[in-house]
Amino acid sequence: MLKTMKRTNVFKLYPTKEQEKFLLKICKMSTILWNKLNYIRRQAFFEGRFDWEEGVDELYNEFKSILGSATAQQIIRKNNFAWKSFFKLKWLQRMNKLPKHIKNVSPPRYWKDREAGKRKLMTIIRNDRYRIERNSKGKKYLIFKGMRIRITGKAKWHGKQGQLEILYDDLTKSWYSHQTIEVEKPEAKGYKKAFVDIGAICLITAWIENERQAIAFSGKPLLSDWWYWNKKIAQYQSILKRVNNKHTSKTLRKLYRIRQKRFRHYVNTVVHRFVKLCLKKGVKTIFVGDPKGLRINNNKGKKVNAIIHNFFSYRYIIQRIKITAENFGIKVKPVDEHNTSSRCPWCGSAKFVKKGRLFKCLACGIEAHRDVVGALNIALVSMMPSKPNRRRCRLRGFERGGFNRVLAHPVLLRVSPAEAQTSPQRILAT
């Protein structure tokens, strides 16, 4: 049986005025259905009398004539799934199996934008209740409930059609649809392993088996861009507080979104280039160092704290590596990187000096890039998980005899501005 995975195609909708009125009505009633059912279940949960069937039949019968039976059913099923996920997390919490970064598990929330104080307008269309067509001129249309809505966007994934979520973005006054697609999971034909150390200065530093030199993707352009938008946000917050005595506004929310999307666009570009390089080199498995616990009791001054706690979204980077690698059939395995930058990968000594990005071992005299040391130690931990102290020269391609300062430093790969930089207007339009 073929393995499958779920992916999403995103389209932008351009409804006419009449179509938009109908969409607003459907999305508004869908949100009311979700919020009513969620209210009943939240109250029951807090009172200790949770019942899956409570209120379901009544709400279904009330809304099926407005939304259609299929849409009403899909919203109830989505709410069921949200609550099942919540109960599973609560069970993991009781068993002390939750990841350390998850401190609190909350029940499913209402479809409401807290900052704007408005309902989130969205609805769900079952997979057999819509279709996407292309006319002779290449224009695409979404057809459902008797409407033919013009859409744009690339259908990146092709396979078994799943449900379609339609939502309204109040910030950009635009309509979007998310189409789930079930596709076959590919499998890479390589045999090599890649070992990755992620960081803020070098987003990805990796060593691929049998290679004589590590590679690194610089994060400095991204960090510089992040500081620029941070400064703009701070300036606007100051003006907003002084002039209007407010803490948020539509413009401020746009600035936050621009900063987030520019960060994610750069990360996605770097990760895609790295995974394609791994595929070209014949990599089958990527071992990624997971810096869990990085933020716990970590206080290194205002600027460094801002980088660690706000800029360095390492979980997002790891998630993107997993998803992108899966698209190419490459497996990803997380590795605990505790102490991987505190030992020499050639002699195993814990006596070293760090200065900037330089790592110098006081026992064997090796000088190397700090992130390369981290990547090589991740390789050693992955190769010898049961014998972490037996760290001798076991890295093929990095034999100590032929090692020098040049090979100890990575090939720095940069993402060009044309690849990664996107204008704020284009970001908000996507």
User: What is the tens place of the pLDDT at every residue in 254-310?
Assistant: 999 999 999 999 999 999 999 999 999 999 999 999 887 776 666 767 777 888 878
Partners of 131 in the β-ladder: 143
| In contact, 410 and 371? CB cutoff 8 Å | yes
| Predicted structure pTM score | 0.87
Summarize pLDDT for 347-373 with one digit per residue, the tens: 778 888 888 778 888 888 778 888 888
Most confident of 20-24, 215-219, 398-402: 20-24
214, 336, 342, 352, 364 from 347: Cα distances, Å: 19, 21, 12, 11, 7
What distance in Å separates the CA atoms of residue 352 and residue 343, rounded to the nearest whole number? 8
- The answer to which of 27-36, 87-96, 315-324, 421-430 has the lowest mean pLDDT is 421-430
What distance in Å separates the CA atoms of residue 80 and residue 82, rounded to the nearest whole number? 5
Q: Does residue 103 have a pLDDT over 90?
A: no
Which is nearest to 395 in space by CA: 405, 385, 406, 403?
Answer: 403
Q: Who has greater pLDDT, 219 or 304?
A: 219
Q: What is the residue-averaged pLDDT of the chain? A: 86
Q: Does residue 392 have a pLDDT over 80?
A: no
What distance in Å separates the CA atoms of residue 26 and residue 367, rounded to the nearest whole number? 64
Q: Who has greater pLDDT, 36 or 358?
A: 36
Summarize pLDDT for 303-352 with one digit per residue, the tens: 778 888 788 888 999 999 999 999 999 999 999 888 788 888 877 788 88
Q: What is the DSSP string of 174-193?
A: EEEEEEEEEEEPP-----EE
What distance in Å separates the CA atoms of residue 73 and residue 63, rounded to the nearest whole number? 10
